[in-house]
Structures are given as structure tokens and as C-alpha cells.
Chain A
Amino acid sequence: MWKLAQAYSASLEEKVKEIAFSMQDFLFFSLRAFRALGASKRYWRDVLDQAYICGTESLPILMVSALSIGSLIVIEVGHQLAEFGAKTMTGRSVALSVVREISPLVAGIMLAARVGARNSSELGAMQISEQIDALRAFGTDPIAKLVVPRLVASFLMFVPLIALCDIVGLISGAYLAEWDLHLDRGIYWNSVVDILRPMDWLVGFSKPPVFAIGISLISCYTGFSTTGGTAGVGKSTIKGIVYSSAFVLVMNFYLSKVILDFMRG
């Protein structure tokens, strides 16, 4: 029994060491990426390619998510409000939750899956086929060539993508409110416009740039640290998605909390 406990604590210690080491390694990786940011000028073609891929690949799934977000909030909240005879307030609650929370959150998770999986599987495959070593061997910094364009492209694309989600979410809410609650669309839009303050947009739009940085760095890092052949690529792809999504969930909460607390004094 004692032996078992000892063995367990030893393996736990190993695990903790390993995690601490990866965290440190990730930190250095991120620093190198930031230091290499100037390379985005040199690799502007790669930035454009990545931005195009990010936009076209993510758009369909983001639009589907946005449609269901708006509709869902109307079904859930709108009906509750209607019970109290306050269905004219539906636009307010849709607007606040879409712009500040749900749209960035759901879009963030979708992007973590879509963009994160792509980065870690693609870079992982390049790692195990020694293409990343080849870049280094012939004098090209793989972080500048592969990571910086992905980071910059996400940074540029996430804000417009999530803005689009906000708009589609609000519009889908309007139609569903009309259809399901028989709420006039004019009234809906009036209450939307009424309630939204600059602060709400600030909360909403503070998130995509942070998500872009986190998702890109995490998924590129898991790709770069792939070992163990084809199975290794599978593992690092999963890691890329899981850690990126976790990052989105946690940061979504903290950004809302910090900015709202700050603005409310």
C-alpha cells in the first residue's frame, strides 16, 4: 500500500515537472513568436493565404452557430419575458447576451476547433516529416515563416468574423421573435439599439483579439512539439483543440468580469 502511494506520488511529481516544463517551453515559444512579428511583412503572402483560409473555412460553421444562438435566446428568454408581459424587452436581452457573451464565446470555441485543429495538424505533420528541421537547417526561422503568419492572420480575421456573428445572431433573433412571439421587428430593433452601450461592444470586441493570440500560439505550439509519428499528429491535434477551447472558455469569463467590473467602478 505504502509502496503504491510512493509510486503514485513519484509519477505525480514527474507529471507536475512535465507540465511545468511545457509551460515554460510554451512561454519561450510565445516570446519568440512576438519577437518575430516583424517577419509578417516579409511573409505577407503567407499572412494573406492564412487569412483567406481562416475566413473561408470558418465562415459556414460560424454562421450556423450564430443563427442558432440568436434563435435560442429568443426561445428561452423571450418566452420567459412574455409570461411577465414583457416581451418587448426581448431585443434587450438578446442584444446584451449576443454581443457581450454568447456570440464571442461560441464563435471562439468554433474557431478554436476549426483554426486550432488546422494549425496543430498541419504543423504536426510538418514536424514529423522533418520539414520544420529542414527550414532551420537551411536558415529559415520556422517560427517566423509558419507561426507569425498564422498569428497575424487570426488577429486580423477574428474581429470581423465575430462581428458578423453578432449581426447574424441579432438578425436571427429578430426573425424568430416575430415568428414565435409575434413581436414587431421594429420594436425588437428599437430595444436592441436602446440597450447597447459602447461598453458592451468593448466587452464583446475585446475578446476576439485575445482568442486569436491564444488559439494561434497554443495550436502552433502543440503542432511544433509533435513527436511519435502519425499517431503523434492525432494526439497533438486533440491537444490543440482542447487547450485552445479551454483558453477561450476561461478568457471569455475573465475578460467580461474584468471589463465590466472596471466600467462599473
Chain B
Amino acid sequence: MIELRNVSLRYGAREILKNVSLTIEDKKVKAILGPSGVGKSTIIKLMLGLIKPTSGQVLVDDVDITHFSEVELFPIRQKMGIVFQGNALFDSMTITENMSFFLRENLNLPEEEIEARVKEQMKFAGLEGFENNLPDSLSGGMRKRVAIGRALIFHPTMILFDEPTAGLDPVSSKKILDLIKRLQSEIGLGAVIVTHILQDVFAVADSVAVLYQGKIIFNDAPQKLYDSTHSFITSFLSNPED
């Protein structure tokens, strides 16, 4: 479970998040919907302790990680995989090296175990045959799946997606969304999906929070969005390309 309690964040004079409170349940898919530049990536990074809030608290499984050091954060972060907006793959490493890098770095696993885990992820992501390719030589959808494999390889209990379908064609988008659904139903993996695309929310989310001008203006089941009278939500529903 991840919990933000009255979290505010400012960059210089600009207040990006204002008193945001949000709870993310295990084994559920939570979407955070918001327009471009509203602070969606920021929220995800706060959950991992990659940035610190100006005020408020971040709790993971009831542990307050707000003031944790990098070393203290490591076991916390291992519970959560993250898929970055632009994948953040290491461009000088092959696909398998990208997937196994952090295993080798952080866990003292025998070589067979590492290979087995990489194989498992390659298969799950449908990337067999591309083991020795560099990320640059793959399509956008495949790169995304590599990034997902890299996040899953630690066997996390929660996975955080920063705009998983942005920039992908409809077919690749659907593949990624199916994958997220499958992860939830097959291994009970909880997920946070940050997105500005309405279809993503309806496709996978159990519940959705809408972030607008630094505040959570809605937090409920996706279908309830239609009942909302908030002007941003009504205009977003009628014109989702904004």
C-alpha cells in the first residue's frame, strides 16, 4: 500500500502539488489522470522517494519513508517496479543486459537464477529472439515491454507506470494495457498508472484519481467520472484529446 498524506511540492516559487492525499491499495490498478505538465511524473517519483515532498508524508506499507536515505529506501524500492515515461533503458546495453543489470547489481543470485529470471521476462513480454539487440533497434512498443520486464524482474508487489501508452500506436497500446491487466489477474500485481489518456483509464483501472492544478479533484471508480460536475472533467470527457 502506498499513501500520500497532505503532500505538497514546490519547485522554486511554483507549487506543483498542493496538499495531495492519496491511497493506493495492493492488488488494485489505480489510475492517476491529468493534463500534460500537471505533475504526474512527479507523483510517481515521490512514491519511490526519488524526490522529497516540500511538506507532507509518503508511506509505503505503513512505513513513513519521507526522510529515508537512499540506503534505507532500497528495500522499499525493491517492492515497487517502475516503468519510466521514456523507458530509461540503458542505451549501451543489450536487452538481456538491461534486464539483468539490477539483479546482478543488487541481489547475490546464482548465475542460473539470473538467467532463468531474464528468460521468464523475455518470454512474458514476447521478446524472444531479441536478446542481443540494443534498445535503439527495437520498436517503441517493444522498448516499453523491455522496461516492464526490467521492472518485474525483482518480483515486486506493485508496479508504477508513467504514461505507459504515450507515443505508442493503438495496437501497441492495447498490448501494453492487456499486459497490465494480465499482471493483475495472473499474479495479483497492483499498479499505478499515470496517464493523460482517458481510454487507458477505462481499459485497466479499478479506480481513478484526477489531478488538476496541483489538487486531486476526483477519486472514485472510472464510471463515476460521468457523474462529475467539475468543469475540467466534463470538458475532458467531451474532448479527451486536450
CB contact under 8 A between A133 and B84, given known A138-B77, A139-B74, A139-B78:
yes
Segment touching A, from B85-93, B119-127, B211-219: B85-93
User: Which of chain B's residues 42-84 have a Cβ closer than 8 Å to chain A?
Assistant: 45, 48, 50, 70, 74, 77-78, 82, 84
Contact A137 B106 (CB under 8 A): no
Q: Are A130 and B70 in contact (CB under 8 A)?
A: no
Contact at B70–A141, with CB atoms within 8 Å? yes
Chain B residues with CB under 8 Å of A134's CB are: 82, 84, 88, 90
- B106 near A130 with CB under 8 A, answer no
CA distance A137 to B77 in the complex (A): 6
CA gap between A243 and B106 in the complex, in Å: 35
Contact (A138, B102) CB under 8 Å given A131-B88, A133-B50: yes
**Cβ-defined contact, B88 with A129, below 8 A:** yes
Interface residues in A106-138 by Cβ distance below 8 A to B read 129-131, 133-134, 136-138
Residue of A nearest to B51 (CB): A133
A140 in the interface (beta carbon within 8 A): yes
CB-based contact B50/A140 at 8 Å: no
Q: State how many angstroms separate the Cβ of B70 from the closest Cβ of chain A.
A: 7
State the Cβ distance, A138 to closest chain B Cβ, in Å: 4
Interface residues in B, total, Cβ within 8 A: 19
Q: Which residue of B is nearest A141, CB measured?
A: B70
Quick check: A130 and B88 within 8 Å, CB to CB?
A: yes
Contacts of A140 in B (CB 8 A): 102, 105-106
How long is the Cα–Cα vector from A84 to B220 in the complex, in angstroms?
Answer: 93
Chain B residues near A136: list those with CB within 8 A: 50, 70
Question: Are A133 and B74 touching (Cβ within 8 A)?
Answer: no
User: In whole Å, how far is B150's beta carbon from the nearest beta carbon of chain A?
Assistant: 8
Pick the contact of A133: B88, B89, B90, B154 (CB < 8 A): B88
Q: Smallest Cβ distance from A12 to chain B, in angstroms?
A: 17
Interface contact B105-A139, CB-CB below 8 Å: yes
Question: Bound complex: CA of A139 vs CA of B50, how far in Å?
Answer: 11
Complex CA distance for A139 and B75, rounded to whole angstroms: 8
The residues of A that contact B88 with a CB separation of less than 8 Å are 129-131, 133-134
A141 to B105 Cα, complex, angstroms: 10
Q: Is the CB of B86 within 8 A of A139?
A: no
Residues of B82-135 at the interface with A, using a CB-CB cut-off of 8 Å, are 82, 84-86, 88-90, 102, 105-106
Quick check: A137 and B86 within 8 Å, CB to CB? Answer: no
Cα separation A44 to B105 with both chains bound (whole Å): 14
How far apart are the CA atoms of A129 and B88 in the complex, in Å?
Answer: 6
Instruction: Tell which of B48, B89, B90, B105 touches A137, judged by Cβ atoms closer than 8 Å.
Output: B48
* Contact (Cβ within 8 A) B82 A137: yes
B74 touching A137, Cβ below 8 Å: no
Residues in A whose Cβ lies below 8 Å from that of B78: 139
Q: Are A133 and B45 in contact (CB under 8 A)?
A: yes
In the assembled complex, how far is the CB of residue A150 from the closest CB belonging to chain B, in whole angstroms? 15
In the complex, are the beta carbons of A139 and B45 less than 8 A apart? no
Report the bound CA distance from A130 to B50 in whole Å.
11
Across-interface contacts of A141 in B (CB, < 8 A): 70
* Chain A 130-164 interface residues, beta-carbon cutoff 8 Å to B: 130-131, 133-134, 136-141
Q: List the A side residues contacting B90 at CB < 8 Å.
A: 131, 134
Q: Which B-chain residue is minimally distant from A138 (CB atoms)?
A: B102
Residues of B within 8 A of A130 (CB): 84-86, 88
Cα A140 to Cα B106 in complex, Å, equals 8
| B102 near A139: Cβ-Cβ < 8 Å | yes
Cβ of A129: which chain B residues have Cβ within 8 Å of it? 86, 88
- Min Cβ gap A196→B in Å is 44
23 contacts between A and B (CB under 8 A): A129-B86, A129-B88, A130-B84, A130-B85, A130-B88, A131-B88, A131-B89, A131-B90, A133-B45, A133-B84, A134-B88, A134-B90, A137-B48, A137-B50, A137-B82, A138-B77, A138-B105, A138-B150, A139-B74, A139-B77, A139-B78, A140-B105, A140-B106
B residues near A (Cβ < 8 Å) are 45, 48, 50, 70, 74, 77-78, 82, 84-86, 88-90, 102, 105-106, 150, 154
8 closest A-B pairs by CB: A130-B88, A134-B88, A138-B102, A139-B74, A130-B84, A139-B106, A131-B88, A137-B82
